[in-house]
Structure 1
Amino acid sequence: MVVGALALGALAVAVAEGPGLTLDAAGLQHYLLAVFLTAAVVAAGLSPIHIRHNIKVILTTVPLYAATMLLPPLVAGLTAGGGVLLIELLTRTQRGNTPSDIATAAGRWLLIAVLSAWAVRDASEAGLPMPVMLIGIAALMFCCDIVTGAFEIAPMSNETPWRVMGVLVREASLAEGVQYMIGMLAVLAAWQHPWSLALWVLPLCIVYQSFKYAKEMHDGTGKLLEGLADAVDLRDPYTGGHSRRVTELSKHILREMNISGPEVDLILSAARVHDIGKIGIPDRILNKPTQLTPEEKRIMDSHPQRGAELLARYRDFSRGMEIVRHHHERWDGKGYPDGLSGAE
């Protein structure tokens, strides 16, 4: 990784400065920054945080933003593109990426960095206020990343680019926003003392651990709720594995209806835990072999509401609580708990 970073840094400066390179103080500074930022991009890229299938958050935004703000356009482009290229090559066997996937990933970041660095140069020459320039370049990079990333991911996920853009904006905006804020602070410090960039390694590690912990908590909560749903199914010998079967049937229906995007994850998650409210139903009612009394039926029919109330306690799963609450409603309005009818 370090050797590759050195080679790419040297190449970036050589291309930018032209043949017969003689490194003066400015050229040497660009070389060292290119090396450091390329290595930072690669190090961050080897530890992604997976959000959902084919979509992940990678803490490469800070070094990519710093490269765009601190280096000339060609150097910034080769630093960003070269760093991403090294990531793709080092993880090719693990991820199974094709040469075209690798070229696309590296090429789009080379393009984003060059265009953004040119915008930095033009903004500086125009005398744009520093806060406006910092925020404007971050917004430009974010938009370019979302758009080009959506077109890169869409063929792999069998979703439209527009749906992927929506998912990326919703799922990655917080992580990207935090990174751009850190990047702005890093750039401000580097303009005064370039060596201060090295001090941002620790804050980035803390940010990475925080996002990773949050994702692990989300996944752990999901597995806990699914475990509770399975426990409910096991309490009733007539419905063993019911939630899993409903989830599989829902998946097939969604596929036949050609529905894709974030709604699919929401529906399947809700299907998986739709009967979780039965955990509050006594065994004498849940497993009663004879007809339920009116009072017992009232208690049994409360399980959708109980399930929705349980999911409401978990912010990450609260979006599915309406599906859970209304999974026993009927088109003719004779369902429960709210007696909804038609498309209500």
Structure 2
Amino acid sequence: MEIHPKITPIYQTSVFKFEDLDGIAQYFDEPGSRYMYSRNGNPNSDELAEAVNRLEGGQGAIATGSGMAAILAAILAYCEAGDHVLCAADIYGGSAALLNQELNRLGISVSYVPFEKLYDLKLHLQPRTRLLLAETMSNPLLRVVDLRTLAEECHQHNVKLVIDNTFATPLLTRPIAYGADITLHSVTKYLAGHSDVTAGVVVAAEPETAARLRQIGMTLGLTLSPMESWLAVRGLKTLRLRVREHSANALAIAEMLDRHPVVQAVNYPGLPSHAEHQLAIAQGGTQFGGMLSFRLPDDEKQVNQFMRRTQRFPFAPSLAGVDSSLSHPLSTSHRALTLEQQQRLGITVGLVRLSVGIELKEELLIDLEQALGQA
């Protein structure tokens, strides 16, 4: 009896069988024709990788066990001991920790480039500078990178451009179309979308880079498990609907916060007052995603009071689930930065990051109003 499932089954197996020596020979002689061991590849992880590859317009991708594993794979695709990496100063704290603590220990050095200096790299280059790592929309300040200009600047100096596209998703921006060499995601966030998966994806603009990524993923054991891959593919099917609701809710909340007397500043690319608002429109159209941050007075007691009073934004140090949440960058994602780095970026006690979900907009607004009213 032939079975033709509409949904790909979960291939919850660590190893695949062969009929004879001809089968194993085919596996090695014809890459991609068969599966042998799930660390080397699995139908579910390949399905996820290919789905994101199509969305991003890439030439090949791998699915990894986390967003951090995706960043590691992307850097190792171009770097070895003795090489140098440039990194945008406005970057996720976990990325900075990986570069500072682990890759530095392995002989890969890093320099940080202020946002305002990204488009003129000459003073930051070293003889063995291999790549620049940046985010489409930075975490947590929501600065928007001019991808085309940045790609041109990097390539002028023979430097690869690696873009973390987690906040924007390929529905808003496709970095490869603007010249990026690699784009990556923490699938944990918007692509899976339901706060029940930990995963990453790395997408390459060139087939040779994609092949190198597959080798790195297999050798280092970065491959995503079948079950997590299956859940992520299921979440990905509603990405378009979710991003639309995330974006609409976040814009309404940003506008409300921008008017509120207690709030000192709001960081959201959808606001006309945002420094890169027009660039965000050019690269992403009329949607701006579900992430924003805002500034309360630098008073820990006041920030704590706000957090305790809100009912719809629990303090959960991650993002992009269908349920709203808030985070405190100074205490979580960026606590590993030096005090000087934190102060230079403006990551202080009063900075709060919101991940706006897809709940009823009116309920979210009412909740924030009452929580801020008591702040």
Provide the TM-score with structure 1 as the length reference: 0.26
Structure showing greater Rg: 1
Task: Answer 1 or 2: which has greater helix percent.
Answer: 1
Q: Which has the higher contact order (CA 8 A, sep 6+)?
A: 2
TM-score (normalizing by structure 2)? 0.25
The structure that is strand-richer by fraction is 2
